[in-house]
Amino acid sequence: METEAKDAKVDLEKRLKELGHLLEDSRNKVKVLEAYSKSQKESWNKKELIFQSLAEFQFGALQELRLSSECIKREILKAQKSYSEEFNCLGLKFKKLSVESENYHLVIAENRKLFNELQDLKGNIRVYCRVRPLLSGQAEKRTTIEHIGENGELVVGNPSKQGKDGNRLFRFNKVYGPNATQGEVFSDTQPLIRCVLDGYNVCIFAYGQTGSGKTYTMTGPNGATEEEWGVNYRALNDLFNISQNRSSSFMYEVGVQIIQYSQTFVSLDLHTLGIKTVSQENGLAVPDASMYPVRSTSDVIELMNIGLNNRAVSATALNERSSRSHSVVSIHVRGKDLHTGTTSQGNLHLVDLAGSERVDRSEVTGDRLREAQHINKSLSALGDVIFALAQKSSHVPYRNSKLTQLLQTSLGGQAKTLMFVQLNPDVSSYSETVSTLKFAERVSGVELGAARSSKEGNIKELMEQVASLKDTISKKDGEIEQLQLLKDLKMHILSVDDFKQQSRFLKRSKYSGGDINQDAEISEYGDGDREDRLSDFSDGCVSLGTEPDILTDEGTKPLEKSEKNKVLSRSIRKLGETTSSVSRSLPRTPSIRKTAATNSISVKPPRRWQ
């Protein structure tokens, strides 16, 4: 028992020691925890102070922010009010500006209308310029076109000069950019073309260097769709549509001529159509150029396609399909008013000129070279005609070329004329572009006189003919009266003169026995003595009024003699007033000396009343 108690006691002491160690460790841990908690408390206190100060700072900042936001709000309200007032003011100004813009466009349209009317009165040639787009292989090249304005301004830049010094300004009626469509181009020419139905003569021709797009504008590309139609197709189609719309009031007959000219005129072979050709007045004065009546748009398309296929075309270094001839499509429209019966005759000439080209650039030889020379020669003649018209020269050299003879009625007559100027924007074509623009500028200054319809022209011509016939009748009446006076005077003069002449002639023949021709030579008087003879006649007649008439019956009363003398004196005075005019109007004839040499016998009375 005691051992167990001792063992138990030892175990208890051992356990007490362990518990003491554990207690000591716990106390140490408590101390550590107390120190840690104390440090944590201090840290939290510091953080609390920091957070408190931060909260106070943020609260102050919030207060400032609130004040600032209120200020900003007040400023925003003030700015909003100011902006609202400014917006209202701008709205009024914008409305006013839109009204002024509309008025400006109206004024521009009115100015354009007045300008066109002025051109109609002056007969100026309208000039429309069209710039061809760069081709696929030329997309990366530079262009000479610097600016295209809305009111017909065109600025061309010289590639050899930099800056504004190399720019040159041209002004035309209209300038179309590279993106202009065929419809846009035709819409501006449509009013001019429609004048043909009213009896006016209209000429539209395309001018420019080879490859500038003349045929594209006038005809369109090969196999063109309706949207790609050129002026030729659209013009004829439009004329047919209008004539159909007016069919209840007017009846129209349309005829077409198509020719080409390089060295000579050639009527394109159109007999494959099966359309009967007719010989119609007012057509082109070209040998073998037949008039083809057309009655529908399909006839026109087929006719134009055949003419286009037969046109001379060949490749050059500048253009794969270069037109080697001038093409002229002439449309003749004859209209009749079904109500009044009046007729009108209008002509539309659509001319696609062959391209002007420099032989060294086109690299043509042989037949193509001769064609180019003839083309340039005819275009040069056209330039001479335009220059003469611009200078208002008394002589215009239309006869220098058959082309200018063909265009004479359009350039020299009272027609409405429009020229399309085609430009190649490529830098390598700068010199040709400037040359073309100079020519177009000269053309725009040509005044042809106010165009008139055929109805107005016929009435005016008839009035002029009536006035001319009236003048002729009055002149003839005056001449008849003068001749009657001369006849009356001769009757009175010869009654005395014959008696005296016979006695004098018998006396001379008795004593001299001279030759009759000698006597005629002595008694000669020429044309220079006509006025003297007339004055001698008048002097002689005056003296006859006071001398007794040998052939007068002695039983005649003095009163009757005096009445006859008065009538004769009045006739003589009237004759004296007309003597100078008669002598000027009569042609001078050779004298008796000259006629005596040709005639075997020439007897003239000797000069009387010296």
> What confidence tens digit (pLDDT) does each residue in 474-498 have?
888 888 888 888 887 777 665 655 6
Work out the number of other CB atoms within 10 angstroms of the CB of residue 210. 25
Name residues whose C-beta falls within 8 Å of residue 310's C-beta, 6 or more positions apart in sequence: 260, 268, 269
pLDDT of residue 495: 60
pLDDT of residue 523: 39
214 is in an annotated binding site: yes
Whether 148 contacts 167, CB under 8 Å: no
Residue 368: both structure tokens together: 């193509």
Residue 277: both structure tokens together: 């050709």
484 is in an annotated binding site: no
Identify the architecture of domain 123-452 in CATH.
3-Layer(aba) Sandwich (3.40)
**Mean pLDDT computed over every residue of the chain:** 73
Rounded to an integer, what distance in angstroms lies between the CA atom of residue 376 and that of residue 354? 9
pLDDT of residue 162: 77
211 is in an annotated binding site: yes
Highest mean pLDDT: which of 129-138, 267-276, 459-468? 129-138
Is the pLDDT at 183 greater than 90? The verdict is yes
215 is in an annotated binding site: yes
589 is in an annotated binding site: no
556 is in an annotated binding site: no
449 is in an annotated binding site: no
pLDDT of residue 282: 46
pLDDT of residue 272: 35
> What confidence tens digit (pLDDT) does each residue in 207-250 have?
988 888 888 999 888 878 888 999 988 988 898 888 888 888 88
Number of helical (H) and strand (E) elements in the chain, helices listed first = 15, 14
How many Å separate Cα 157 from the centre of its chain?
25
pLDDT of residue 134: 84
Rounded to an integer, what distance in angstroms lies between the CA atom of residue 79 and that of residue 21? 82
245-250: list long-range contacts, CB under 8 Å, 24+ apart: 246/197, 248/338, 249/337, 249/338, 249/339, 250/197, 250/335, 250/336, 250/337, 250/338
How is the chain split into domains, by residue range? Answer: 123-452, 462-598
Highest mean pLDDT: which of 283-292, 321-330, 495-504? 321-330
478 is in an annotated binding site: no
> What confidence tens digit (pLDDT) does each residue in 26-42 have?
889 898 888 888 888 89
Rounded to an integer, what distance in angstroms lies between the CA atom of residue 204 and that of residue 418? 5
> What confidence tens digit (pLDDT) does each residue in 262-282 have?
654 444 444 333 333 333 444
SS3 525: coil
In 3D space, the residue among 199, 231, 238 whose CA is nearest the CA of residue 215 turns out to be 231
More confident call, 4 vs 555 = 4
